[in-house]
Structure 1
């Protein structure tokens, strides 16, 4: 296979696989449907396997097409991102800033910062994905993510976006009046607790403490299991059970008196929300502009 032909038909293949339509792929690439079909046929002849099932009404990937897509799509995304980074080498922020953001960051970071950022940098578009499942943000095409610090990989550069907060047990005033307050972690065996199933792992989170200098984790006991933090806090506010959360997550309920913390002296440590990114991304003008906006608003 000649070197000049290595990538022939690849962009057409990716566009059709993405759109599941030759016509829509042609619109995306600004060529004719005939040109798309011809490029796919040449690619299939080179590879010696059909990549698509074709009928008069639809087009779908074959098993070989699925396997090829799984291998080259991440690389294509990385190439596209890298080319975009090269365009960003100018001093003036521009282009699209792609962020993947933990839901907790919406009211505390994104909502207050976004208006100021758009006003300061109108030439920068913002593409936000809300998810607690971050994975490989580079391969997924993101410039940066916002996540709780303890979940961020060590090789990432992290910029704090929130005050420090502590993990603790929370309950409503009514719950504590009726059931008393746990004074040590082992007291929790006598209390009803909301079990939290982590969406990113599917397991039930064990409550973590530091007692006598040792790490202690406790399997919460209770009849209610959820996978949503806001629902968990609402259940606790109704006086049904205790929950394990942070002073930041529960800041609204703490402020209005719906929840009260206990076992703060046994907290495993402080944490926070951070913007994180790789070293290769840190000099992007659009990302630097976002960091500067976050820092400015934190000082106010």
Structure 2
């Protein structure tokens, strides 16, 4: 015979309190409903569990035996629920995030440097992936994308400023090849291509000026699928590259790279952290989200 958790919990409450009134108040039910629950339990067991009088309620011999069996188990359950509540309120556990290499290095890593020392029970796994990962199917808590790439059924939180791209080359390259004056002129240059699964092929360089948008399909001897290789290739003078502006500021300042077509590189919305709208964020996820949120 299987009894419901609620009915057994009701019996334990009455037997402990020795009162239907106090037990009903503790459980948040009416005294009459509690009395009916106990009568139903006794009827199904075929045993009287409680002896009722005008002043008190006492367990019978069968009731005492059942109470000795149930009480420690209910205490264990209550303690575990308290522990789970503490886990909910304490930033602990693992947060898994998928992101491209650029936001992983420029945004996620600095945020982890700020929060992890203060939260020893918090663990963060970052998986660098250039594709548009299905975070639900792949078991991720969140992903990072540019704002325009976030699906409509996701919650998107801005975690980075507006971005700009930059066309750059080494001084040695420009000594051999005069710089183009327009984006169309790039087709005559040796350009470093990048192949990303996000775009399903070679990435077309995107430009905008005065409301006019332009996509240029460039060609060159080098094709990579990694931002670090692209930067190394342009520094070595193998061709021109189209890179996030923040990656090459130091190289521009040092003179190792030269920038062209700057007036064609308009700002665009930066990175967003996205996660399912139906997801109830854990304390651990909330800490990571707050650290990443763009002020």
The answer, yes or no, to whether TM exceeds 0.5 is yes
RMSD, aligned α-carbons: 2.7
For residues 156 and 224 of structure 1, do their structure 2 counterparts lie closer, same or farther at Cα, with a shift above 3 Å needed? same
1:270 aligned partner: 268
Deviation (angstroms), 1:212: 5.6
- Distance of 1:257 and 1:158 partners within structure 2: 38
- Distance of 2:113 and 2:247 partners within structure 1: 23
For residues 146 and 251 of structure 1, do their structure 2 counterparts lie closer, same or farther at Cα, with a shift above 3 Å needed? farther
2:14 aligned partner: none
1:178 to 176, 179, 190: 176
2:5 aligned partner: none
1:242 aligned partner: 240
For residues 282 and 164 of structure 1, do their structure 2 counterparts lie closer, same or farther at Cα, with a shift above 3 Å needed? farther
1:205 aligned partner: 203
Instruction: Write out per-residue CA displacement over residues 98-137 of structure 1, whole angstroms, 9 at most, x where no aligned residue.
Output: 1112222333223322233222222222222222224210
Contact 2:162 2:267 in 1 (8 A): no
2:156 to 148, 155, 158: 158
2:284 aligned partner: 286
- Distance of 2:87 and 2:120 partners within structure 1: 18
- Distance of 2:105 and 2:158 partners within structure 1: 16
Contact 2:193 2:203 in 1 (8 A): yes
Contact 2:154 2:274 in 1 (8 A): yes
For residues 263 and 121 of structure 1, do their structure 2 counterparts lie closer, same or farther at Cα, with a shift above 3 Å needed? same
- In structure 2, the gaps of 5 or more residues are 1-83
For residues 123 and 207 of structure 1, do their structure 2 counterparts lie closer, same or farther at Cα, with a shift above 3 Å needed? same
Deviation (angstroms), 1:166: 0.7
Deviation (angstroms), 1:272: 2.1
Deviation (angstroms), 1:268: 5.0
Contact 1:94 1:125 in 2 (8 A): yes
Instruction: Write out per-residue CA displacement over residues 62-83 of structure 1, whole angstroms, 9 at most, x where no aligned residue.
Output: xxxxxxxxxxxxxxxxxxxxxx
Deviation (angstroms), 1:138: 1.4
Contact 1:102 1:146 in 2 (8 A): yes
2:190 to 192, 203, 207: 192
Give TM-score, length-normalised by structure 2: 0.63
- Distance of 2:98 and 2:241 partners within structure 1: 27
1:118 aligned partner: 116
Deviation (angstroms), 1:158: 2.6
For residues 200 and 93 of structure 1, do their structure 2 counterparts lie closer, same or farther at Cα, with a shift above 3 Å needed? same
1:257 equivalent to 2:218? Answer no
- In structure 1, the gaps of 5 or more residues are 1-85
Instruction: Write out per-residue CA displacement over residues 9-29 of structure 1, whole angstroms, 9 at most, x where no aligned residue.
Output: xxxxxxxxxxxxxxxxxxxxx
- Distance of 1:230 and 1:91 partners within structure 2: 39
- Distance of 1:163 and 1:142 partners within structure 2: 24
1:148 to 146, 149, 153: 146
For residues 139 and 89 of structure 1, do their structure 2 counterparts lie closer, same or farther at Cα, with a shift above 3 Å needed? farther
Tell me which structure has the larger Cα radius of gyration: 2
- Distance of 1:123 and 1:167 partners within structure 2: 38
1:62-77 correspondence runs (5 A):
none
2:125 aligned partner: 127
Contact 1:88 1:95 in 2 (8 A): no
**Helix, strand or coil: the match of 1:170?**
strand
